Amino acid sequence: MATLLIAATSWLGIAGAAQAKPAKPTSVVISGKDLSAPLTVQAQDKPELFAALVDQVGFLKTGGGNTRGLKAADLGPKYTVVVHVGNAAQQSYDLYPLAKGGPRVYRPARQPDKSRPGAAWFFGRLTMAETLLAAGVPLPEQNVGSLHGGGVGGGERVIPDDAIGTGKDVDRLLGDLRQLMLLNGAVLLAITLGLAGIALLVRRRTR
């Protein structure tokens, strides 16, 4: 009986450990070449800013990337964001808030928590530059302002021209659409006339 109780207790302990939720992040550390010292944002001190920073990378822990990396000249400044639980680093990501065509994130193959999700590139959150600026990263405010409007987490991005094409490209697209519609109209008219001719021919033969 005692042996059964010990076994049951051990099984419950293992099951409880398996069902235990992973510890929540407690701090984020930001480093970069233009930072004299790393910036640390604690969850208990600045919960809103901390949540905004975690939101920039929280969805990148697993899964493959959805974009290729850009040329170094098009990436702009890099800032490494490391998410901590207590004193232990868990995830690390390289953020490029001013990359051409929109923010980018690189996930290194090896992570501080010993996991290996694989190296990958991602499109970043549209609020990346704003959030890093709010954390103390010395980004040029005119560049940030040209990309976003509003505060952290609530801004709406003004998409740069090179992300969707220039005005000439849009005019060319509209011109192509007009030509396509005219062509379709001509085809429809030809079909209608053809059907009318066939109907007239059939009517004459049946008289």
Q: What pTM was estimated for this model as a whole?
A: 0.61
User: What is the chain's pLDDT, residue by residue, as a tens digit (207 residues)?
Assistant: 555 444 445 554 554 544 556 689 999 999 999 999 999 999 999 999 999 999 999 889 887 877 778 899 999 999 999 999 999 999 999 999 999 999 999 999 999 999 888 899 999 999 999 999 999 999 987 666 554 444 444 444 444 444 444 555 556 656 666 766 776 777 778 788 888 778 777 777 776
pLDDT in tens, 35-80: 999 999 999 999 999 999 999 998 898 878 777 788 999 999 999 9
Q: What is the DSSP string of the chain?
A: -HHHHHHHHHHHHHHHHHHPPPPPP-EEEEEETT-SS-EEEETTT-HHHHHHHHHHHGGGSSS--SBPPPPHHHH---EEEEEEETTEEEEEEEEETT-TTS-EEEE-SS-TTS-----EEEEPPTTHHHHHHHHT----HHHHHHH--SSTTT------HHHH--HHHHHHHHHHHHHHHHHHHHHHHHHHHHHHHHHHHHHHHH-
